A = this chain, B = another copy of it.
Amino acid sequence: MKSKSIFYIIYNIMKNNFKNKFYNEISVKLKNDLYKINIGYMLLKNNIINFKIKKKNNLLIITNKIILNLYKDYINNFIKKKNIKYKIFIIKDGESYKNIKTVNKIINYLLSNNYDKNTILISLGGGVIGDITGFTASIYHRGIKFIQIPTTLLSQVDASIGGKTGVNHKIGKNMIGTFYQPIIILTDIFFLKTLSKKELKSGLVEVIKYGIIFDKKFFNWIEDNINDLININKKKILYCVNRCCEIKSFFIKNDEKENNIRSLLNLGHTYGHAIESYTKYKNWSHGESVASGIIMSCFTSEQLNIFKKKYTKRIIKLFKLLDLNIKGPDNMNATDYIKYMKIDKKATLNKINLIIPIRIGKAIIMNNVSENIIIKSINKAKKL
């Protein structure tokens, strides 16, 4: 991974070289997998990327109506050039459909239409579609290939990278899933222009997360450019997505199965998942929930005398600029949080493990944080 100190050099090179056809490639090299993230603007339309699809490969694109209506022509164009037959399978939109039933529907379709093990599934959508498609690919015929085409900011900077797949269970988020890598990720910031501001901001929460856990300079850069990012300034967003992909692949390369450092990416997520579970994956988006969770983690760290108050203030300021609710749901009290946090995937023997920021640019994993401190942190956020 590029050293953090050459951050500004790279940024300036990119700024100067940036054309409509800007294109970058990040290699994700894992123990058993090697694939590329292709990042650019109008990637597919300009046919910059070049990956092979063989005659024997049947393509099935998994997407939803919203995305299909917006990008039918774009996809058509792209695949026509490749001279390949494909079908589209529509799933319903929303986190509440990220469940085993939807997976079953896709599998029924695949089996009923004789899709064999040379099938390639293409996920065209946000993290929800990506997680469902990846999981389905991992269990169909004991594993078929799949391609990620992330269309939300959150999925471009986070969900599409790293091979975590899965679906929710009424008792908890992402409880059913696998580790399964795509063969390529096509990340086109062109998609972002149609994204609602709400979804865009959700993605920016994860962007800020990378700054907090790993890259102080990037965090400073975000602070300086937050308005450009909100307004989808092409150059800035492109730079930002690229940097996030670099950071996330760094974590993945070093800890694919999340045995240690990869779990730092979960900053704010233990609290956040509790919110999502409690609100049944409705009303509260992933990004909003995580933003609240990050603030609660900051408060936790403050109470442990680790994190400085001034850091928390800077983070709160950023989230407020994004107009995010960082207090968690009004009707959810600390006991509710604790209940869900204990069944979180990261919990062990009922003990809650948390990611704790120690300063901007660095975080640690802390086992067995006391319930008392957690409760205080939640209540402190409520009072914001």
Chain A positions within 8 Å of B, measured between CB atoms, are: 31-32, 56, 100, 104, 107-108, 111-112, 114, 116-118, 135, 138-143, 164-166, 169, 171-172, 174-179, 257, 342-343, 345, 347-350
Contact = CB atoms under 8 A, between A and B. Distances in A.
A350 B138 contact: no
B348 A140 contact: no
Contact of A111 (B141, B165, B175): B175
A171 B111 contact: yes
Contacts of A112: 171
5 contacts: A31-B32, A100-B104, A111-B343, A118-B348, A141-B175
B111 A172 contact: yes
A224 B112 CA distance: 46
A102 to B, nearest CB: 13
Q: Which 6 A-B pairs have the closest CB atoms?
A: A111-B171, A142-B177, A139-B176, A141-B345, A116-B348, A142-B179
Nearest to A31: B32
A176 B140 contact: yes
Nearest to A175: B111
Contacts of A118: 348-349
A178 B138 contact: yes
A179 B164 CA distance: 16
B138 A169 contact: no
A123 to B, nearest CB: 18
A78 B139 CA distance: 34
Contacts of A135: 139
Given A141-B175, A177-B142, A117 B169 contact: no
A174 B32 CA distance: 24
Contact of A348 (B56, B143, B177): B56
